Amino acid sequence: MFEFLQNALAIFGDSVRVLFRYPKFAIPLFIVWLFIAPIVLYFRFFFNNTGQSFTTLLLLAFGVIYLFSLLFTFSCVVLLELIQQHETGRGFSLPCAISETIRKDLSGILIISLIWAIVWFILALLKALTSRKRGGHRQGASPAEAARVLSGSGGVFSWFGLGISMIQKLVRMTVFLILPAVAWEDKGAFSAIGRGLHVLREHAGEFLASYAGTELAGLVVFLPAIIAVMAVKHAPDIFWYLVIIYTSVAWTFSMYLEQMTVALLFLWHKKWEVAAQEAEKSGKPVPALEDVPRPSLLDDVNDLAVTAAER
C-alpha cells in the first residue's frame, strides 16, 4: 500500500550515499551558491531603490530571478551529465560535463529556465505584496546580519509566505525532474516538459515523498545555523563566518538532494519503461516500479547504457 514511500526512501538513501562516495556531484551547486550569496546580500543590504521606477524595479527583480533559475538549471544539467558519464562507463570529468551542457543542452536550459523564472516571479510577487514589511534599509551588513539572511532567519514568518515557499520548491523539483529528458534523451524544451510531467504523473507518490523527505532533510541540516543566529547575540566575527560557511554546505547539500532524488527517480522510470515493454511483448503483466531493480550509482551496472541499448 505504501510502496511509494519505500521507493522514495530508497532513492533518498542512495542520494546521500552517492554524495559521500562522489562529493564532486555537489561542486556545481556549491559554485552556484558562491554566485547567489553575494547577490542576495547586495540586494538585502546595499541596493538603493531611491529614484527607481516601479517598472524598473520589476524588470530588475525578474532579471535576478531569471539569473538564479538559469544557474539552478545549468547546475542540475551538469550534475545529470556527470551521472550520464558514470552510468555509461565513461568515468567522471567535470569540465567535459560543463562542455556537454553548453554544447548540446543550452537551448533547452535557456527556455526551461525562462518559463521557470516567469512562474517564480509571479509567486515571489504574490509573496512580496502580501508580506509584512521588514525593517528599514541597512548599509554595511555585519557578518552576523549576513549569517541571518543566508541561513533564512532574516525574514518575517507568515503562513502565506510558507505556502508560497512550498509551491516554489514544488515547481523547482518539477523543473529538476524535467531536465533529465534534456540531458539524457536530447529532447527539446517543450518535449522535455511533457516527458517530465509524464514521469511525475506515473510516480506522483514517489515524487511527493521525495519532496517531503528533502524538505525535512533541509530543515535538519539548517537547524544548527538557525539556532546559532537566533540564540547567539554577541560573538566575534569569526563565529559568524563559520556559520556562513556551514550555511553554504547545508544549502548545497539540501539542493543536491532535490536534484539527485528526482534524477534517480527519472532513471528508475526509464528502467521501468524497458521492463514494461518487455512484459507487454511477452504477454506478461506490467511490473510495478518496485519490481524493477533500482538504478544505483554505487554499483557496476551502467544503467543509462543498458536502457539506451534496450529501447
Closest CA to 252 of 64, 74, 32: 32
CB 180 within 8 A of CB 173: no
Q: Is residue 5 part of a domain?
A: no
- Which is more confidently placed, 60 or 132? 60
CB 243 within 8 A of CB 223: no
Mean pLDDT for 160-175 is 93
Q: What are phi and psi of 88, to 5 degrees?
A: -120, 10
CB 297 within 8 A of CB 12: no
Alpha carbons 189 and 116: distance in angstroms, whole number: 12
* CA dihedral (282, 285, 288, 290) positive or negative: negative
Residues 105-143: tens digit of each pLDDT: 999 999 999 999 999 999 999 988 877 555 444 545 789
What is the pTM assigned to this prediction?
0.92
Q: Is residue 13 part of a domain?
A: no
pLDDT-derived band at 303 (thresholds 50, 70, 90) equals confident
CB 45 within 8 A of CB 139: yes
Alpha carbons 168 and 155: distance in angstroms, whole number: 17
Boundaries of domain holding 157: 23-310
Alpha carbons 143 and 240: distance in angstroms, whole number: 6
Q: Is residue 209 part of a domain?
A: yes
Amino acid at 286: V
Q: Grid coordinates in use for 228? A: 546559532
Give the per-residue pLDDT at 306: 60
Residue listed under C-alpha cell 519505500: 6
pLDDT-derived band at 73 (thresholds 50, 70, 90) equals very high
pLDDT-derived band at 1 (thresholds 50, 70, 90) equals very low
pLDDT of 308 above 90: no
Burial 3-22 (b: 16+ CB within 10 A, else e): ebeebbebbbebbeebbeee
- Of 66-75, 119-128, 160-169, give the range with the top mean pLDDT: 66-75
**Domain count within the chain:** 1
What would the DSSP string read from start to end of 260-298? Answer: HHHHHHHHHHHHHHHHHHHHHHTTPPPPPGGGSPPP-TT
CA distances from 163 to 94, 96, 128, 202, 261 (A): 36, 39, 13, 25, 22
CB 89 within 8 A of CB 305: yes
